A = this chain, B = another copy of it.
């Protein structure tokens, strides 16, 4: 007796699409077959639908403190419910130590926050916010004992205590290379931003549009080039997160051309919108860093999504209520971030696959298989193979949904996607064999998700 059978779907992996039934036992895929005839506790009819390995969003900020008592609108529960409803079955958030705090303490505290809350499986990146020897030594322990196979570094946010200077950065990358763990990098040039910001403020230019103007494309591209150079020196693997510009993408391509292992993530909002939103009435709601760039940049990012210049999708989900977003009219005082974890799959499928720009295989690679590999989860996640976790997302390719506050499950009280219509939507989602979304409604359970210890240095497929 099987626990679950998904019957009659088109199974879509990064390698191809084929008709098959999928049988599940004990939370894992136990068979992939033309026809699974054994009886099962539960059967999902996926006829006419796509079955993909569950999405992995490696870039979320749930239950994050901004400052002065401002928190993100989504905590680990509401955030993972939204993720699940968007077809995401794994999220990876961050443990970000306070100044002076032990990295391990910060990690443990963050696990405590998430365990018992999360509706899907989750992992944690460690934000490396200082680089003294004692802290660096903790990275090995975190990796070996807790499976923290990835860290995050910042070239910006000096005042918020996140930035590493180049000397510290180089040592961190060297240690990451030694351990074989992945380095996620927020790449923007701090000093150029600061100089622009100071000039604007001194000229009384405080509106949201100046947020964008203070961080032009080269701000991103310079930092990517610098970190790529360091990655080349040290042998570290680097993932440039939230890539937002064509010039930044060129930097990534140039580095890869000379053999540096640099990858890029982009977010659905960079593929969907451009900086014209900063001239709208609700501009403040859509402030984020890096800011939205020009239509030409958006087009360049689509090229990267299609041709492999960009390796993974992530959401950078970081939601603040309209009230918090509007607390100040000075762009430097507005908390940055938009929602996204529920939008990755609908946007990329609708704008990419349904519009014929993107193959299904590459779609699956971007939202599931590549993140699984990069983050050290493959083939437990990201694959439809016997033995893999039964994390599965069923997409109805013909379903039309109008996105916005009503359709989405985040606690956020507004949405940059308000009114956007997509075609193709996740209808059922399975997490470790359990159906957690049915007919687009969440039917899972708070705390169902488990912490994922991960492995570094994935060697499963060339190129990653």
A-to-B contact residues, CB < 8 Å: 14-16, 18-21, 23, 25, 28-36, 165-168, 170-171, 189-196, 218, 221-222, 225-226, 229-230, 233, 257, 307-308, 359, 361-362, 378-379, 383, 385-388, 459-463
Inter-chain contact B166/A191, CB cutoff 8 Å: yes
A222 to B234, CA, bound (A): 13
Contact A16/B166 with A30-B34, A31-B34, A226-B222 known, Cβ cut-off 8 Å? no
Contact A191/B165 with A23-B33, A226-B226, A460-B16 known, Cβ cut-off 8 Å? yes
Residues on B with C-beta less than 8 A from A463 are: 308
| Top 7 A-B residue pairs of the complex, sorted by shortest distance between their CB atoms | A167-B195, A31-B33, A165-B191, A166-B191, A20-B386, A167-B191, A167-B192
A100 to B15, CA, bound (A): 43
17 cross-chain CB contacts under 8 A: A16-B378, A16-B385, A18-B386, A20-B385, A31-B32, A31-B34, A34-B386, A165-B191, A166-B189, A166-B191, A166-B192, A166-B222, A168-B195, A218-B229, A221-B229, A222-B226, A308-B462
A307 to B259, CA, bound (A): 11
For the complex formed, measure the closest distance between the CB of A386 and the CB atoms of chain B, giving whole angstroms: 4
- Copy number of this protein in the oligomer? 4
A191 to B163, CA, bound (A): 13
Nearest residue in B to A20 (C-beta to C-beta)? B386
Residues on B with C-beta less than 8 A from A14 are: 15, 461
For the complex formed, measure the closest distance between the CB of A192 and the CB atoms of chain B, giving whole angstroms: 4
A31-B34, A225-B225 known; 6 new pairs, CB 8 Å cut-off, are: A16-B385, A20-B386, A20-B387, A30-B35, A222-B229, A225-B229
Inter-chain contact B34/A28, CB cutoff 8 Å: yes
Residues on B with C-beta less than 8 A from A171 are: 195
Looking at A28, A35, A167, A462, the one whose CB has the most chain B CB atoms below 10 A away is A167
Looking at A23, A33, A233, the one whose CB has the most chain B CB atoms below 10 A away is A33
For the complex formed, measure the closest distance between the CB of A403 and the CB atoms of chain B, giving whole angstroms: 28
For the complex formed, measure the closest distance between the CB of A398 and the CB atoms of chain B, giving whole angstroms: 22
Inter-chain contact B34/A462, CB cutoff 8 Å: no
A378 to B379, CA, bound (A): 22
Interface of A is mostly: mixed
Contact A462/B195 with A34-B25, A34-B28, A379-B18 known, Cβ cut-off 8 Å? no
A36 to B35, CA, bound (A): 13
Inter-chain contact B218/A194, CB cutoff 8 Å: no
| The one of B28, B36, B194, B361 that contacts A167, using a Cβ cutoff of 8 Å | B194
Contact A34/B167 with A15-B461, A226-B226, A229-B222 known, Cβ cut-off 8 Å? no
A31 to B33, CA, bound (A): 4
Residues on B with C-beta less than 8 A from A196 are: 167
For the complex formed, measure the closest distance between the CB of A352 and the CB atoms of chain B, giving whole angstroms: 13
Inter-chain contact A387/B462, CB cutoff 8 Å: no
Residues on B with C-beta less than 8 A from A359 are: 459, 462
Residues on B with C-beta less than 8 A from A195 are: 165, 167-168, 170-171
Residues on B with C-beta less than 8 A from A170 are: 192, 195
Residues on B with C-beta less than 8 A from A33 are: 23, 30-33, 386
A229 to B218, CA, bound (A): 9
Residues on B with C-beta less than 8 A from A28 are: 34
A436 to B42, CA, bound (A): 40
Inter-chain contact B16/A387, CB cutoff 8 Å: no
Residues on B with C-beta less than 8 A from A229 are: 218, 221-222, 225
Residues on B with C-beta less than 8 A from A192 are: 166-167, 170
For the complex formed, measure the closest distance between the CB of A125 and the CB atoms of chain B, giving whole angstroms: 23
Residues on B with C-beta less than 8 A from A459 are: 359
A462 to B430, CA, bound (A): 28
A170 to B222, CA, bound (A): 11
Contact A19/B387 with A33-B33, A165-B195 known, Cβ cut-off 8 Å? yes
For the complex formed, measure the closest distance between the CB of A413 and the CB atoms of chain B, giving whole angstroms: 36
For the complex formed, measure the closest distance between the CB of A165 and the CB atoms of chain B, giving whole angstroms: 4
